[in-house]
Structure 1
Amino acid sequence: MAQLFQDLIYSFGNCLNCFPGSPSLKINSRSFKILRLLGEGGFSYVYLVQDTSSGDMFALKKIRCPFGAESVQQAMREVEAYKTFAHSPGIIHSVDYSIASERNDPGSKTVYVLLPYYKRGNLQDIINANLVNHTKFPEKKLMVLFLGVCKAMKDMHHYQAPAGGERMEMGNAKAGEEDQVAAPGERRSYAHRDIKPGNIMIDDDGSNPIIMDLGSVAISPIPITSRSQAIAMQDTAAEHSTMPYRAPELFEVNTGAIIDTKVDIWSLGCTLYACLVGKSPFEMRSDETGGSLSMCVLGGDWRFPDEGPKAISEPIKEVVRKCLTVEPDHRPDIDELIAMVEEVVEELPDSAA
């Protein structure tokens, strides 16, 4: 709560107002009461807030932009991403946003993004609960959920601009990802680049996954044509792609490489493994061997744990193996992965639900 009150003290303008004993803020014309901190990372914080008029709950993401125009531009790319995929039911959308200046430094901005709140939390919350309670996902239920994640991912990998034609300003210019405008009906491909259990929410019905945190989204493919571009891409990945779920081609980016949506296929494989076992495969292997996590990833060094009577079904293991192929060209694309998962769901007995 100390951070919360400090944040409120240092922000001002038509976005934020403080009231004794009850921290509140205003996003454009709507007033909200801040209830608690939900999470934080890097320069961002996420709070649970309540609309003071309707009583509805929302998640408010606060993105600090201390480095001037460049960091504001990066935050606004995330806002644009929420707008771009607003028509995809499996990808989170924004409700509203606002930009405020810091009282002690007008050049330093803060971007506030109002998002839907999902009371069931995310896949990582379920994984943590399973570890504490010594329980597991029912296999069929897990694979149906995973299929939903893959279908949401398809909306990103095979994006089609709506008839109205929306401007999309995503990516990182340092890594060669130029801002571009999609013509009405034009098809584009985007990669999320930070798929992990913590970025997959579960809707309030408990049956549909919602991909969140679009700050890492970028156009795909990205040809790496110079050493400086390779270093920039590697730095971007280190900042935006969570290490245990990061594809090997993002650890060591080479000139001449092409970074594309296959990075998400790798992360999906890591995510499925984590749901089955409790950790990313490379966290698990690094813990077992005492070796470097990055070296485990680059070498494709992982395995399923020794199992007793409740072993993981072989078809599910095969899905993980296909996704965790070190060579990107040998991984399935999202359509092939969906077909594989649909077949597994069909094969699994209802008793596995």
Structure 2
Amino acid sequence: MNALGLSMIVKMGCICSRESININGSRYTVKERLGEGGFSCVDLVEETSTKKKYALKRITCHSIDDQKVAMQEINYYMKLRHPNIIELIDSTFKGSADIVVQATSEAYLVLPYYKRGTLHDYLTLRSFNKNHLDVNDILRIFTEICQALKFLHDFTPDPIAHRDLKTANVCLTENMDPVLMDLVIKNSCRFLCSCKSADLWGAGCSEIAGYRLERCSMTYRAPELFHVESYCVIDQRTDIWSLGCVLYALLYFKSPFDIVYERGDSVNLAVISGTIYFPQDAPFSDDVHELILFMLRVNPTERPFIDDVIAKTTSLKNKIENVV
């Protein structure tokens, strides 16, 4: 057999071996793996009849509790309709989780496919050449992220906190509009930490009032989630801290605490100290830095709510436009 014939067989074998998944009567062919995390993976899939591409998120559930978390994510996506929050196209469960018999189930979420990928991907590419975004583009993207967060924080009847806001959880459309994704946590906006719960957290407990610490990325995590005070109130202002880290990343390509992590220093200590370093040769004004510091206040009671952030951002945009 010649090389061409062998090559054709190999290619045909690859095509034949591609996974095909049926979700509520629609068949999808898996094209490639887009990404993996600790709790899920995302594949690029193509709907067989329309040839349209989607992102298929698979969440492996090892327990009934895991299934509840996955179902909660699906329910949130079904309720939320906002141009800057990702839309759920379809979903289903396959199998049933059972710890006793070591069985797992899988949740399948069909989501829009964004060719540009995430804001993290985009900023990483620009960082290679230190190609900073224009401040007007930064504030436009940031404002749209704020509007999505406001929609969550003002949601009725129960306000929602994202709890894992970061550049990797923001997709970008072809027009460079941000779209929030990954609402995977118990998202009650506000809960009270008792003395007992604070002690448990300090002893290494990873959950308080249904809040799973490991689902919140360390370099975007608010100080009150590193060190829980007795009888404190944890509310939606954890998202405001993360939002400050996102704005810093829009300026300098990564969270200020990513830099700490990469040096091998303690992120915990850096976050609790609240010390933020801005590059000396930065092409941005002090006003933009002040907006970041406005959000990165260690004491959550001194941290602004989303409406305050939007008002300050609007004022800054107007000031920049008047200067131009």
Cα displacement (A) at 1:337: 0.3
Cα displacement (A) at 1:217: 5.0
Distance 2:321 2:82 in 1: 30
Distance 2:15 2:262 in 1: 48
Distance 1:35 1:350 in 2: 49
Q: If the length of structure 1 is used for normalisation, what is the TM-score?
A: 0.80
Among candidates 48, 51, 58, match of residue 52 of structure 1: 48
Distance 1:111 1:216 in 2: 15
- 1:293 and 2:267 matched: yes
- 1:108 and 2:104 matched: yes
SS in 2 for 1:189: coil
**Partner of 1:335 in structure 2?**
307
Structure 1 pair 246–237 and aligned structure 2 pair: CA distance change class (3 A): farther
Among candidates 282, 288, 302, match of residue 276 of structure 2: 302
Greater CA deviation, 105-114 or 260-269? 105-114
Cα displacement (A) at 1:22: 2.4
Show CA shifts across 1:147-198 (max 9, x none).
Answer: 00001100000002xxxxxxxxxxxxxxxxxxxxxxxxx3x22110100011
Give 1:225's aligned amino acid.
S
Q: If the length of structure 2 is used for normalisation, what is the TM-score?
A: 0.87
Among candidates 139, 163, 170, match of residue 193 of structure 1: 163
Residue ranges of structure 2 left out of the alignment (5+ in a row): 1-13, 202-206
Structure 1 pair 298–110 and aligned structure 2 pair: CA distance change class (3 A): same
**Partner of 1:223 in structure 2?**
192
Cα displacement (A) at 1:261: 0.6
Tell me, yes or no, if the aligned pair for 1:227 and 1:254 is still in contact at 8 Å.
Answer: no
Tell me, yes or no, if the aligned pair for 1:234 and 1:251 is still in contact at 8 Å.
Answer: no
- 1:264 and 2:258 matched: no
Distance 2:119 2:323 in 1: 22
**Partner of 2:116 in structure 1?**
120
Aligned length: 303
- Which structure 1 residue ranges, 4+ long, deviate > 6 Å from structure 2? 102-106
SS in 1 for 2:116: coil
**Partner of 1:172 in structure 2?**
none
SS in 2 for 1:282: helix
Show CA shifts across 1:44-79 (max 9, x none).
Answer: 11001111111111110000012x211111111111
Give 1:78's aligned amino acid.
E
Distance 1:275 1:51 in 2: 34
- 1:211 and 2:185 matched: no
Show CA shifts across 1:91-136 (max 9, x none).
Answer: 1121111111279968421111111111111111111011113311
Distance 1:30 1:158 in 2: 35
**Partner of 1:167 in structure 2?**
none
Distance 1:349 1:227 in 2: 51
Distance 1:233 1:351 in 2: 48
Tell me, yes or no, if the aligned pair for 2:61 and 2:97 is still in contact at 8 Å.
Answer: no
Give 1:142's aligned amino acid.
I
Cα displacement (A) at 1:84: 2.0
Cα displacement (A) at 1:234: 9.4
**Partner of 2:76 in structure 1?**
81
Distance 1:192 1:217 in 2: 9
Structure 1 pair 91–45 and aligned structure 2 pair: CA distance change class (3 A): same
- 1:69 and 2:64 matched: yes
Among candidates 292, 313, 316, match of residue 344 of structure 1: 316
Structure 1 pair 19–130 and aligned structure 2 pair: CA distance change class (3 A): closer
Distance 2:166 2:323 in 1: 27
Distance 1:51 1:350 in 2: 48
SS in 1 for 2:277: coil
- 1:140 and 2:140 matched: no
- 1:283 and 2:258 matched: yes
SS in 2 for 1:143: helix
**Partner of 1:314 in structure 2?**
286
**Partner of 2:9 in structure 1?**
none
Cα displacement (A) at 1:351: 9.6
SS in 1 for 2:298: coil
| Fraction of identical pairs, as percent | 33
Structure 1 pair 103–74 and aligned structure 2 pair: CA distance change class (3 A): closer
SS in 2 for 1:342: helix
Distance 1:133 1:35 in 2: 31
